[in-house]
Amino acid sequence: MNENLFASFIAPTILGLPATVLIILFPPLLIPTSKYLINNRLITTQQWLIKLTSKQMMAMHNTKGRTWSLMLVSLIIFIATTNLLGLLPHSFTPTTQLSMNLAMAIPLWAGAVIVGFRSKIKNALAHFLPQGTPTPLIPMLVIIETISLLIQPMALAVRLTANITAGHLLMHLIGSATLAMSTINLPSTLIIFTILILLTILEIAVALIQAYVFTLLVSLYLHDNT
């Protein structure tokens, strides 16, 4: 009960050294692989989900955009596994750190924008000035469109950070309330514990949805620039 509410968001250390890198490298080790010709049900289901997700995200892309398919699929798997592992007790979720999410969002966004300026520079510049804009409004619209373009990676990172952090805080508060009520009122404890279970199920869905939304938005930025 006396634990700091934000203690779970502090980056852990091992012998004084940050362990964030080890935690980030851990999720890929949990993805099963097979060396056999015939896969088991788990790997078959995994491959089916990857193909379904990849097909849905790549359907709107041209040939150049589809070269990013491996990166986007790897991104959604990484974010999803990291979010899910963060729901385990006494674990650390790297995606609650804005710095890490910015480190993912900025290079991907910058890569998509650079591809757009290299392949379709006229269309890329046309986004800064919609057709039919009155002459007095041209400077203002160019500034607004430039700001909206530059704010895209920040919006990606903040959205993921806020959703994951809010869910963890809410679970922490309800879990603390369940523990406190367990010695006071048993019926109330059961009700709060049921709410906690439902919230946990919701957070599992949120972890997967946020991974999909982050990757889908990156895919849309790529689509606008290819």
Here the tokens at position 34 are: 């097979």
48/126 Cα distance (integer angstroms)? 39
Average pLDDT of the residues in 154-167: 89
30/220 Cα distance (integer angstroms)? 29
Render pLDDT for 176-213 as a digit per residue (tens, 0 to 9): 888 888 778 788 888 888 888 888 899 899 988 999 89
Judge contact between 94 and 100, C-beta under 8 A. Answer: yes
Judge contact between 10 and 16, C-beta under 8 A. Answer: no
Q: Is the pLDDT of residue 5 over 50?
A: yes
Render pLDDT for 82-113 as a digit per residue (tens, 0 to 9): 888 878 777 778 888 888 889 889 999 888 88
Alpha-carbon distances, residue 132 vs 122, 129, 136, 139 (angstroms): 16, 9, 12, 14
Q: How far from the centroid of its chain's Cα atoms is residue 105's Cα? A: 9
Cβ count within 10 A of residue 38 = 7
pLDDT range class, residue 2, cuts 50, 70, 90 = very low
Alpha-carbon distances, residue 206 vs 7, 97, 160, 201 (angstroms): 22, 17, 10, 9
pLDDT range class, residue 170, cuts 50, 70, 90 = confident
Q: Any bridge partners for residue 18, and if so which? A: 13
Render pLDDT for 124-135 as a digit per residue (tens, 0 to 9): 777 777 677 777
pLDDT range class, residue 15, cuts 50, 70, 90 = low
Alpha-carbon distances, residue 27 vs 80, 87, 93, 158 (angstroms): 9, 13, 11, 22
The angle formed by the CA atoms of residues 177, 178 and 184, to the nearest 5 degrees, is 90
162/40 Cα distance (integer angstroms)? 37
